[in-house]
Amino acid sequence: MASGARARLVALTTNPEFERWPRWSADGSQLVISRVIGEHVAVVRINADGTGDASLTPAGIDDFMPDWSRRPHSQRGGLAASQCN
């Protein structure tokens, strides 16, 4: 993440495994990614400063390609996953 001409880049993830499909929230305060956790792919939410790393996917389910949604009925605080298995 960087802002301005002299901003420094900050690594928001440190997982050497699979992490893909990053999507920023509309206000830029959070990022969601897909990450391999154990034998499954989970949607993980991370605050813009790198804190608050939390899986949003129930154990034993593959959930990938997250996207933010404004749908009020979303079960995950405004998140909708494009693919769930």
| Distance of alpha carbon 21 from alpha carbon 23, whole angstroms | 6
| Distance of alpha carbon 85 from alpha carbon 82, whole angstroms | 10
pTM attached to this predicted model: 0.68
Cα–chain-centroid distance for residue 74? Answer: 15
Over 80: is that where the pLDDT of 23 sits? Answer: yes
Kindly indicate the confidence band of residue 79, based on its pLDDT and cuts at 50, 70 and 90.
Answer: low
Q: Which residues is 41 bridged to in the sheet?
A: 36
Q: Where are the domains of the chain?
A: 19-84
Q: 79, 50, 49: which is closest to 65 by C-alpha? A: 79
pLDDT of residue 5: 57
pLDDT (tens digit per residue) in 45-65? 989 888 888 888 888 888 878
Which residues, including other chains, have CB under 8 Å from residue 41's CB and lie 6 or more apart?
Answer: 18, 34, 35, 57, 62, 63, 64
| Distance of alpha carbon 66 from alpha carbon 49, whole angstroms | 19
